[in-house]
Amino acid sequence: MTVASISRTGRAPRRAFRAAVLVLCAALVLPITSCASSPSAADPDASNSAVTVTPGLVYSSPEGGDLKLDACVPKDASEPTAAVVLLHGGGFIDGDRTGGGMRAVCELFAENGIAGFSIDYRLAPEFVYPSQVEDVEAAIAWIRQPEQAARFGVDPTRIGLFGSSAGAILTQTVATLGTGSLQEGGRVAAAVSLSGVSLMTEDALTLGSPSDEAASMILNYLGCPSVIAADCPQAAEASAVLSVDASDPPMILVNGSDELVPVEQAETMAAALKAAKVPVQLSVQDGSKHGIQLLGPHIRTRIIEFFTERLS
């Protein structure tokens, strides 16, 4: 079955992807990760003595529905810190700000002196591109509000993005496009993508062998019956690799060599960034690990060092 033949409303691919997500969640490598949701009340969580976690804060209410984020802030910082917005995976049809390892990564950043903001965004098929991109930009704009920057002790000019799987797609898109409200406050300064798809047009079929699950994820996100240009004109606009230019922020791209997202996607994005003279680090790990699964000790250390340097 090819990408072009998968229906956006096809139940079998969607069930298959949900099953894949559950398998990935069960195999996470982060030591303090849980796939269960954390409390959503907007009260500080004192579980980590070095970090203040404030969950369940409403940052936007598009079309009448509240979108929330969890803030993980280093305690007793002597000056404004950098911030990273975390974007969860789940194939655009599942997932939230607390599951899939996002709480663990949020606290990891705060433990290393960087405020983390793990956000929810609208899900497909009810909401499709560019709704999710708009949500990410709304979260960044919210963090940059003077009252929020003061509340959490962050420097609004030093914001990065971290995304896994579906969240990695959003990370790459927001980092390269920088549209709407994001332009008013400036582009993000750094981005990390774990298993991100950068090309979603018909040409993506030439990048490795896209799986049915990956194809279903993209079609749900785009709201298209196929990636044929006539069926999905937004596929090009949503493809980060087609928006790369010299103004883009430095990036780390991480991918498995034989996983849900073909490694050729990451390699193509890295080549485009290098051609535009944008600093990029590409890490391809042997095996089928995907998204947060790729976040082993060495990669965690590299990412912390990357954000510390690029958001200084």
φ and ψ of 198, to 5 deg:
-105, -20
Range scoring the smallest mean pLDDT among 166-180, 190-204, 251-265: 166-180
| Of the ranges 39-53, 133-147, 167-181, the best mean pLDDT one | 133-147
Report pTM. Answer: 0.86
Strands (E), 189-273: 190-194, 251-256
**Taking a C-beta distance cutoff of 8 angstroms, is the pair 67, 120 a contact?**
yes
- What are the distances in angstroms from CA 134 to CA 145, 174, 177? 17, 9, 11
User: Comparing 291 with 4, which gets the higher pLDDT?
Assistant: 291
User: pLDDT for 205-222, tens place per residue?
Assistant: 999 999 888 888 899 999
User: pLDDT for 278-297, tens place per residue?
Assistant: 999 999 999 999 999 999 99
The pLDDT-based confidence of 237 (bands split at 50, 70, 90) is very high
The architecture of the domain spanning 59-196+238-310 is 3-Layer(aba) Sandwich (3.40)
CA–CA separation, 266 vs 86, rounded Å? 19
Q: Residue 13: pLDDT above 80?
A: no
